Amino acid sequence: MEAAVSIESMWAELEQFQSAPFKRLLGAKFTKARAQQFSIQMAYYVQNRRDCWGYVQGSAPLDVKQLIWHHEEDELIGQKAQGKVDHITLAVKEGEVLGLSAEAFERTARLEGGEVCFSAWIRLAQRPWLEAIGGSAILEMRNSGELIQGGSLSYRVGAILERDLGIPMKKQINNAEHVVMDLEHAHLLMQVARKHATTDAARAAILRGASESLMIDRVYRGHLADLVESLP
Amino acid sequence: MDIVGNLLNTLDQMVNDQFDSVEFKSFLGVPLTLERGRFYVIQNALYTSNRRDCWGYVQGSAPLAVKRVIWEHESDELINDPRAGMDHYALTVKQGEVIGLKAEDFETAEIPPMVRSCFYAWHHIALRSHWLTAYTASHMLERRNNGKIVKGGGMSYRVGKKFENELGINLKKMISLDVHVVADTEHSENISEMFGRYVKTTEDRDFVLQGARDSMAIDRAYRGALGFYMAQIQ
């Protein structure tokens, strides 16, 4: 319980959304060209999440492996019974409302700065499992409207696209899905922490991974802000 | 024959050759006693856990379509195999009841040094290699358990038969070994299909062969180690 509390309180202290890169990205006006490139790069981000969660699953204890496996069902496979597709397909499908084809996602290279951040996240995911899970799960907490005052990142980006391009949130199927799904996924770290973060060292490891991941996240958002600002 | 056809034939030959190795012969030649059987079943549960680690790492580095295949594969292993009504670790623990083992025996089990070294070696390949090498290294252990490919039966079948012949425990009662006789046949076929999609060049083929050679070498060391430790149990 104590670990879960300290992770939640860490969130308030770090104030990710008050950081310069987040402010710059979320302060930009999104034209169609900017939204298209942002959307493509975010699909790469989603793919990198799949890499990292795989590594975390590899090193975690059996009960945590099982939690991650369920988590990856939504992301990697989708919920066929509910007619929901996986999140990569969803990202590509959302691109259609921005005028993007599937080929546009395939032929557009990863942002250089993004590539570096992806490597950093992978390296973090290959560290001892408590650090690794802190690093991956904190990104879902950052996307939880329950935990973030003013709305999660997906919600805020969705609001910008609605404001600047007149695309209603319900047509932004990927953002809309993440606004809902990451509420659920954000609880994963709390579940794990309650059972496994039973020592100061274990709690410190989770916080270290989370903190490092948020740092990479700020750098990544800075690179996205650069990209957006470089386009008309 | 095409590059993939030749490759699959080579992999088939390699898994068959395992059973002619001195390490496999030594392991399969150790007469089973109840105590040795208990040791084996506990070690097999730890091996299953190591497999879960490695497949997770491989899922991390593989392309998206392969990640999905691995995720499906892990459904049986980690969550629930419909053939058994439970995941494969729980299945191994349940199997232990037949020979007088309790869940605590699995929880408190030590990994012997030579076995630990093999587990770390498999981790290393799964984490640090090209994804085709890592993927093949994990796949080969299921291919080696595929009775359609291995003449005389895969490892689970042969060990199950030892329990039957030497301890009088019917293979059907060794529920984990029995499920794996079928499950690994299906798993190895599903996983093997990916070679047709991703092996296009001699470089790709060499990544696959590297993983196969390294994993089979570790597998021989692992079986040799199990045989050594089992022989110490009087």
Judging contacts by C-beta atoms under 8 Å, the chain B residues touching residue A62 are 49, 52, 78, 89
- Mean pLDDT throughout A74-93? 83
A72 near B CB under 8 A:
yes
Q: Please give, rounded to a whole number of angstroms, the shortest distance from the CA of A182 to a CA of chain B.
A: 20
When pLDDT is cut at 50, 70 and 90, the band that residue B151 belongs to is very high
What pLDDT was estimated at residue A183? Answer: 66
| Residues 38 through 57 of chain B touching chain A, CB cutoff 8 Å | 49, 52-57
The superfamily CATH assigns to domain B3-232 is Heme oxygenase-like (1.20.910.10)
Cross-chain CB nearest to A58 (options B72, B79, B126): B126
Please give the domain boundaries of chain A with CATH numbers for all domains: 2-12+30-230 (1.20.910.10)
Judging contacts by C-beta atoms under 8 Å, the chain A residues touching residue B67 are 50, 54, 76
- Summarised one tens digit per residue, pLDDT across range A99-149 is 999 999 999 999 999 999 999 999 999 999 999 999 999 998 888 877 787
Residues 6+ apart with CB under 8 A from A85: A78, A93
Cross-chain CB nearest to B57 (options A55, A68, A88): A55
Question: Over 80: is that where the pLDDT of A174 sits?
Answer: no
Which tokens is B201 given?
A: 């060049």
- Between residues A84 and B200, which one has the greater pLDDT? B200
- Locate the domains of chain B by residue range: 3-232
Judging contacts by C-beta atoms under 8 Å, the chain A residues touching residue B75 are 69
Number of helices and strands (H, E) in chain B?
11, 0
Whole-prediction pTM:
0.91
Residue spans of beta strands (DSSP E) within chain B = none
AA letter at B42: I
Cross-chain CB nearest to B54 (options A58, A70, A126): A58
For B50, name the nearest residue in chain A, comparing CA atoms only: A58
Residues 6+ apart with CB under 8 A from B81: B87, B88, B91, B179, B183
